[in-house]
Structures are given as C-alpha cells and as structure tokens.
C-alpha cells in the first residue's frame, strides 16, 4: 500500500530540530535481547522457527557459521552449542534439513536475474551473504576436515565402542554368532529369516490357520544386498479380544520417520499398558484411524523389495495382522547363548552407545525403537559377526556393573564437544545418514564418506527427479545442481552493470525550478528523504534542475512518490529517475522488491534521531508486532545515520506503524522497504570507480546481447527462471518443519572472486513476535 501523496498547493517549510534526551537505548536494547534469549522457554511456541535478524554487521555468514547451524539443527541444544549468528527456536520440532546448492551461481547472479528468481525470493524470509567459495565448498559447510579420510572417520567411530576388558573371556569360534554366520562379513540377504525360522519363531505366514484374516504386504520383489531397510515398531494395549495395535512407527533407512500413527482398537480396552506403550485413554480418545487404515497405508509405502527390521518383529506383525516375507529380527540377529535374547535397550547401549526407553519417560518411543533396530542392523552389516563376538556381549549382559562403573561407550556430548566434529559425525551419533544428490561430473569428499548415501545423476533434471523421491526418506539431504559458470570477463561486466543499475535507480532528477528559487531550502527538502551521496545543479536545460543521488533506493523512491508534481514557488516540478536501458523496468522492479519476503513487513524511515529511538523503545506497546529495529551506521565514523528500518511480524502491522510514524506526533518520512539488509550492505560498499554518471549508456557484451536476442533455452536468464520455479515447487512439497537452505556458493577463479548468497527458511514456520535490536 503506497503512502498518500499530497500534491497541489504544498510549499516548503523549515523543519524544527528535535530536542535530544538522555541515552537510554543501550539498556532497552539489552532488555529486549534478554527477552529474545528467554523466548525459547515459552510453552505456547510449538513450531521450529528462525530469528528474523542476523547478528553479522555486514550480513556475511562464514562457511564455519553455516556448519554451526547445521550441527545444531541435527543435535539440538543439549549436545552442541547454539549458532553464533542466528537463532533457531524449538530445534526438536524440526522434521528434516534440506540444503540445495546451486553450483556456479553467486549473489551477483541472483540480483542480475532477480525477476526470474521470483519464486525463491518470495518464499524465503532470511537471506545472507556468503564469502567466496574455497576449493571444496561442501566439505566446508558440513565441517569435513581437509586431511580427514574415510579411514580416519571409521577409526573415530570404532573408538567409541564399549570397553571389553572384562576378565570373562570367550573363544570367538564358540560364540553363537560366529557359529551361525561365520567370522566374515555377510550381506543383507544372509541376515533374513528363512521361512523355517519364521515358522519356528511364530511369525505370521500365508496359509497358516491363525493367519486367515491377515493382510499380505504384496512385497514379492527380488531381494538383493541393496534392498531398502525399514525399521518397524508397534505399541499394543490389552482389549477384550487380546492385544491390539495402538501405535505404529516406520523409519526409512536414512533414519527418517515415514509413518507414525496412533490407532483406535476395534474392541473395548481393558489395559492401555501405559508403562510400556506410553498410550493413555486421553491420547486415544480423539483418534479415528483404524487398523485397516494403517494396513492400507503400509502397503502403499513399502516398495516390492522392502525388508522390515524390528526387535521381536513377529509380535509387531501379528498386532498389525499383516504378512511380510522379508524380515530381519535384531533379537535373533544378535544371537545369544541357549536361545535367549538380548533386550533392545541393552543392545542400544552396548553396541550404539545410546540410551533408549529411559525410566523417566512415560512408556517407550516407537519411532526411537524402530530407528534403533535399523542402526543395529546397519552396524551388523558394516562390522560383521566377528566384531560383534569381540564385544563379548554375553559378559557385558552378565556384568551390568561394567556399564554402571562408566566403562560403556562415550556419549554424544563427549564426541560433539570436539571443535572439529562434522555434520556427518553428528548424524552418525543419531543413527542417521546424509543423502547427497549430485551430477556425475562433480567431485566431492562427501561422495566417499562412510555415513553418506550418494546418488550421482547425469543431468540436473535427473537430480531434481531423484530429489522428489529420496528427500522424504532422509532426515538430512544435500542436493547439488551444477550450472556452467560465466566467463570472468562477462561476470565482471555484469557486475559493473548491476552496480550501475542500482546507482541509477537511486538517482532522481527534479525540476524545473525558477531562477530565483531558494535552492538551499530545496536541497534541504530532498535531504529529508534519506542520506544523499551527491547533489548537483543541472544547467544544460532552459531552467535549472537538480540531480540527487541517494545512498539507499528507498530514499529515491520516497522522493519520487512525495514530490513529483508538487508546486515549488508556483512552479510544478517533476521528480523522476534517469531513463536508460538499465532503468526501463524500474517501476516493475520496485513493485517486485516490495513483494520480496524479506521486505514484507519492513518499513524505511528517514529523519530519525536519538529521541526517536528512545521513544520507540519506551512506547513499543503502540507498535504491535514489532520484531526488529535496524540502525545503520556510517562505515567511516561509526555514527548512527538518520534513517532506520523497522521490521514487523505482518504487512498490516507495518502499515499501521507507518501511518502512526508519519502522523503529527512523530512527523517522519517513510515507506515500505525495498532493499534486503544484506543487499543494502553490499551496495553501501560500492567503490567510487565502479559508479558511472547516470544516463551514460552501457552496451552489453556481444555474447550476452546475442543470447538475449535469440533467447535460447539454456540462456542464464531462462535457466534462472526455470530452475527457480522448479526448486521452489520442490520446496513447497517438503513436509512442514523442514529447515531449508538454498546456497549460491559464489564463484572464484584466477582473475577474481564473487560473493555467494544464502536463502533460508523453515517450511510453514511460525514467525517471531519478540522485538530485537540490530545496529
């Protein structure tokens, strides 16, 4: 919504200086920061969300700082320190993390093709600058050490295995697990239960009398050692007809929960078995899902060659009343003497070094148990029977005091306290894998990492297609698209033209003025709209004109909207931008900038001083939804400038505040913001030699000029539009609670380097309502 424009009959008035009061800003700012820090403890906030203001003064986020955020997103507050540059609230409510990398693109590309990237810029509220990339951008952002190899990582994981220095010793050859599987590593198919074993351990089987009404999963594909694993766990209650299903959890091999449903039993419940299931009458009352619903859903989810993994899995399948032919039962996989079975809780601690089914929690967590069985199966396949036998599990189970004495494995906190811990190690500690989708031509240390599922594709289109299928199955995904970088000459020319475009858009011509006009008053009027970089008198015309170049685009736009068509000493003046090929689409670009998600809800104000800041903080209750006060400083002197940006939760809140601040009590000039903070910081740093006189024509290089005329399908402008839309569509298909980053790493060559850009958001995130101060 545009400000009202007062036109006819308006004349110049001398402004009055505001009286300065005592400096109370620092204390108020500290108080608001304290409220921000405490916000995470508020019980009503249930959705994961990001802060709206970045702490970095120049809005540049290093690769190490990105790694901080990614590690925190995986492990949370209890095991790793919070990121130093932003706030991620309610991390435990995150469902997935997805990172899209647009290799070969930079911040310059984004703003050169700003109109074409419409879907992405409107979808992501948080944007930040990245430094030029190193030789291995991906390794930097996930924290892989340059000297680290796959072997080093394996040794680190192996070093976390439990101590087996018990005096009780066994002969490996006599170990039950060696007698069954041998001492060498085995493939997945060797771990499957045979039909005879399934019959012995009372698994539901087709054609058996007690399984007449059971539903088959229709999984009859060919099983190989590469078939997908799915962890399954069910919780039951006791009804008038026996045990019935109350909850089912299904976890994909990447560690992502693909199904977690509460189920209403068909018969009267006699005992909810809450101490085991965690289910209560209150929890089940609103549930409408029935057994047949989850049977139908499970059949649709499982691929033909799916292998189900569980602990005492036969009981779960009977509760589901379903038949599945390919199963791994971890209670039987980790063979024990005399036909006994290890408990899942014991195996989780002894093998994986993790505590599950904690006594201070009400009942078991079905998703946690399902994920744990998957981890145990993966561990068995990776290290083989001999490694399991060497752990001497029988002795550990018979001597629980070893665990009580602290000789068990290192816990998660001990591992992640190391400063060089990578995202991969964090995922490994959680029993999860990283998905890496890329083109075959690209090389990265990620591809050879132990805990990374790498899928290489021939084209970007194939990467996109695979991403749609694979991302829901993994808790953490990196999807890399590769684009042909521009030549350095073309990039440098594009950089100069982009900076010239913003300079020209921030420039206005005003006039004509009478020869007897009070130019001092006119100049003072134009300065009231924002910081002026230069102001000169144009005498080539019949009557004098002024050329005003502002530091910020908002000031120029505000001057045009406020002064175009007004009367100055009985002369109607026109205020407009210079007309060049770089400003022909300025009106359209301004409208699009207003719709940028980072600008929605942000207002620009000119004429502010210390009194304004104090009043704003003292009367913050008037401005509902105020989230942040951004106070730019002069780069040389460090003093605060006489303009600011206020960020609000909604566009409506911003509009109401703008009306108040432009009213008679505040008497400020302002409008809705146009430049995101990181872009403003970039434009402020334009060196003088890169600016040109407004109106001078810049001819694009022949190669780009020809491409624009032909508009080939693979032209960067078309590619930006097409891939921006495709990635945006993929983002909108992600599940709620997904932290998503889109990274344009920047470019680097022997000729020079260009900064990157990051876009960040949480799908369906709940925005903050607590003000923050940023200067």
pLDDT in tens, 554-565: 999 999 999 999
Residue 269 sits at φ, ψ, to 5 deg, of -85, 130
Decide: helix, strand or coil at residue 77.
coil
- Return the pLDDT at 122: 85
DSSP string, 433-496: -EEEEEETT---GGGG-TTEEEEEESSHHHHHHHHHHHGGG-SEEEEEEE-PPPPHHHHHHHHH
Residues ≥6 apart with Cβ < 8 Å to 496: 690, 698
Maximum distance among all Cα pairs of the chain, rounded to whole angstroms: 109
Measured between alpha carbons, how far is 621 from 616 in angstroms, rounded to an integer? 9
Provide the residue count of the chain: 775
What is the predicted pLDDT for the residue at 43? Answer: 46
pLDDT of residue 773: 45
70: nearest Cα among 86, 53, 51:
86
Residue 317 confidence (pLDDT) = 95
pTM above 0.95, yes or no: no
Task: Tell me the three state secondary structure of residue 733.
Answer: coil
Q: Which residues of the chain have pLDDT under 50?
A: 1-45, 56, 146-170, 400-415, 686-702, 704, 706-714, 766-775
Q: Token match 């008679």: residue?
A: 664
Q: DSSP label at 93?
A: G
Q: What tokens does 110 get? A: 């984004």
CB-based burial label for 212 (10 Å; 0-12, 13-18, 19+): exposed
Cα angle 530-122-732, degrees, rounded to a multiple of 5:
160
User: How many Å apart are CA 721 and CA 156, to the nearest integer?
Assistant: 45
What is the rounded distance in angstroms from the CA atom of residue 467 to the CA atom of residue 487? 29
Cβ proximity of 354 and 218 under 8 Å? no
Burial 314-338 (b: 16+ CB within 10 A, else e): bbbbbbbbbbbbbbbbbbbbbbeee
Burial (CB count <10 Å: 0-12, 13-18, 19+), residue 160: middle
Beta bridge pairs of residue 744: 757
| Torsion sign across C-alpha atoms 87, 92, 93, 99 | positive
Q: Which of 387, 445, 498 is nearest to 158 (CA)?
A: 387
| Cα-Cα-Cα-Cα dihedral sign, residues 646, 652, 653, 659 | positive
CA distances from 731 to 211, 230, 512 (A): 43, 25, 51
- By the 8 A CB rule, do 229 and 377 touch? yes
Amino acid 474: pLDDT: 87
- Cα 634 from Cα 599, distance rounded (Å): 22
Residue with tokens 């409506």: 652
In angstroms and rounded to an integer, the radius of gyration of the C-alpha atoms of the chain is: 32
Task: Tell me how far apart the alpha carbons of residues 439 and 463 are, in angstroms, rounded to a whole number.
Answer: 7
The number of CA neighbours under 13 Å toward the Cβ of 76 is 12
**Taking the mean position of all CA atoms in its chain, how far away is CA 68?**
12
Q: Give the bridge partners for 456, in sequence order.
A: 438
Q: Mark residue 749 as left, alpha or beta (left: phi above 0; alpha: psi -120 to 50; beta: remaining).
A: beta
Nearest Cα to Cα of residue 734 among 87, 142, 123: 123
Which of 626, 673, 652, 638 has the alpha carbon at shortest distance from 768? 626
Distance between CA atoms of 65 and 441, rounded to whole angstroms? 28
Going 688 to 691 to 695 to 696, the CA torsion angle's sign is positive
Write the DSSP string, 176-243: HHHHHH-SS---HHHHSPPHHHHHHTT---TT-GGGTTPEE----PPP-TTPPEEEEEEEEEEETTEE
Q: Which residues contact 385 (CB under 8 A, 6 or more apart)?
A: 175, 177, 178, 180, 181, 182, 183, 184, 185, 186
Task: Give residue 14's pLDDT.
Answer: 40
List domains and CATH numbers for the chain.
186-383 (3.30.420.10), 500-585 (3.30.70.330), 602-673 (3.30.70.330)
Q: Tally the C-alpha atoms within 13 A of residue 471's C-alpha that lie toward its C-beta.
A: 26
Q: Which residues, other chains included, contact 429 with Cβ-Cβ below 8 Å and sequence gap of 6+?
A: 75, 412, 415, 416
By the 8 A CB rule, do 177 and 342 touch?
Answer: no
Q: 């470019």: which residue's tokens?
A: 747
- What pLDDT, on the 0 to 100 scale, is given for residue 556? 96
């Amino acid at each position: 919504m545009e400000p009202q424009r007062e036109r006819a009959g308006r004349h110049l008035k001398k402004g009055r200086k505001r009286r300065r009061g005592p400096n109370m800003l620092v204390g108020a700012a500290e108080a608001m920061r304290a409220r921000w820090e405490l916000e995470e403890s508020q019980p009503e906030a249930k959705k994961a969300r990001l802060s709206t203001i970045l702490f970095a003064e120049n809005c540049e986020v290093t690769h190490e700082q990105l790694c901080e955020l990614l590690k925190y997103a995986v492990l949370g507050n209890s095991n790793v320190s919070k990121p130093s540059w932003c706030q991620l609230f309610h991390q435990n409510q995150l469902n997935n993390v997805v990172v899209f990398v647009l290799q070969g693109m930079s911040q310059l590309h984004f703003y050169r093709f700003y109109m074409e990237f419409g879907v992405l810029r409107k979808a992501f509220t948080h944007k930040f600058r990245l430094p030029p990339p190193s030789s291995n951008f991906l390794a930097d952002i996930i924290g892989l050490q340059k000297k680290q190899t796959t072997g080093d990582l394996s040794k680190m994981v192996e070093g976390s295995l439990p101590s087996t220095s018990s005096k009780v010793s066994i002969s490996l050859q006599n170990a039950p697990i060696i007698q069954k599987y041998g001492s060498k590593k085995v493939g997945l198919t060797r771990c499957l239960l045979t039909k005879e074993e399934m019959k012995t351990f009372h698994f539901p089987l087709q054609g058996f009398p007690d399984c007449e009404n059971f539903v088959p999963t229709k999984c009859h594909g060919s099983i190989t050692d590469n078939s997908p694993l799915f962890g399954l766990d069910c919780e039951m209650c006791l009804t008038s007809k026996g045990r019935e299903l109350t909850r089912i959890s299904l976890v994909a091999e990447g560690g992502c929960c693909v199904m977690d449903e509460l189920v209403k039993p068909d018969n009267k419940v006699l005992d909810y078995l809450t101490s085991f299931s965690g289910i209560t009458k209150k929890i089940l009352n609103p549930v409408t899902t029935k057994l047949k619903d989850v049977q139908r859903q499970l059949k649709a989810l499982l691929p033909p060659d799916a292998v189900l993994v569980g602990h005492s899995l036969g009981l779960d399948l009977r509760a589901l009343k379903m038949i599945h032919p390919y199963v791994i039962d971890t209670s039987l996989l980790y063979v024990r003497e005399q036909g006994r079975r290890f408990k899942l809780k014991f195996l989780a601690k002894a093998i994986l070094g993790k505590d599950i089914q904690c006594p201070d929690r009400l009942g078991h967590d079905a998703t946690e148990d399902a994920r744990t069985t998957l981890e145990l199966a993966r561990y068995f396949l990776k290290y083989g029977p001999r490694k399991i036998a060497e752990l001497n599990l029988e002795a550990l189970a018979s001597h629980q005091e070893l665990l009580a004495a602290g000789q068990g494995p290192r816990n998660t906190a001990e591992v992640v306290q190391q400063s060089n811990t990578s995202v991969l190690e964090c995922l490994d500690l959680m029993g999860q894998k990283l998905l890496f989708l890329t083109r075959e031509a690209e090389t990265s240390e990620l591809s050879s990492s132990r805990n990374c599922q790498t899928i290489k594709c021939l084209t970007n289109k194939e990467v996109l297609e695979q991403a749609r299928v694979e991302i829901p199955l993994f808790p953490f995904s990196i999807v890399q698209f590769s684009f042909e970088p521009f030549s350095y000459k073309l990039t440098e020319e594009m950089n100069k033209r982009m900076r010239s475009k913003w300079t020209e858009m921030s420039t206005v011509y005003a006039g004509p003025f009478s020869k007897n006009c009070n130019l001092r008053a006119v100049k003072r009027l134009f300065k009231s709209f924002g910081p002026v970089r230069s102001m000169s008198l144009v005498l080539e015309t019949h009557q004098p004109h002024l050329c005003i170049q502002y530091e910020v685009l908002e000031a120029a736009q505000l001057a045009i909207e406020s002064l175009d068509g007004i009367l100055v000493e009985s002369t109607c003046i026109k205020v407009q931008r210079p007309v060049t090929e770089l400003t022909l689409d300025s009106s359209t670009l301004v409208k699009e900038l207003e719709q940028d998600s980072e600008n929605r809800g942000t207002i620009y104000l000119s004429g502010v001083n210390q009194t304004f800041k104090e009043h704003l903080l003292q009367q913050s209750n008037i401005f509902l939804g105020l989230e942040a006060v951004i106070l730019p400083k002069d780069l040389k002197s460090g003093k605060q400038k006489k303009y600011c940006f206020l960020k609000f939760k909604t566009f409506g809140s911003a509009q109401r505040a703008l009306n108040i601040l432009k009213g008679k009590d505040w008497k400020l000039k302002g409008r809705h913001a146009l430049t995101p903070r990181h872009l403003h910081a970039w434009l402020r740093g334009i060196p003088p030699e890169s600016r040109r006189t407004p109106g001078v024509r810049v001819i694009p290089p022949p190669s780009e000029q020809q491409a624009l005329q032909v508009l080939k399908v693979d032209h960067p402008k078309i590619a930006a539009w097409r891939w921006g839309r495709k990635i945006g569509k993929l983002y909108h298909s992600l599940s709620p609670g997904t932290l998503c980053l889109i990274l344009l790493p920047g470019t680097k060559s022997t000729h020079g380097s260009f900064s990157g850009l990051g876009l960040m958001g949480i799908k369906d995130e709940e925005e903050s309502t607590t003000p923050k101060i940023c200067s």
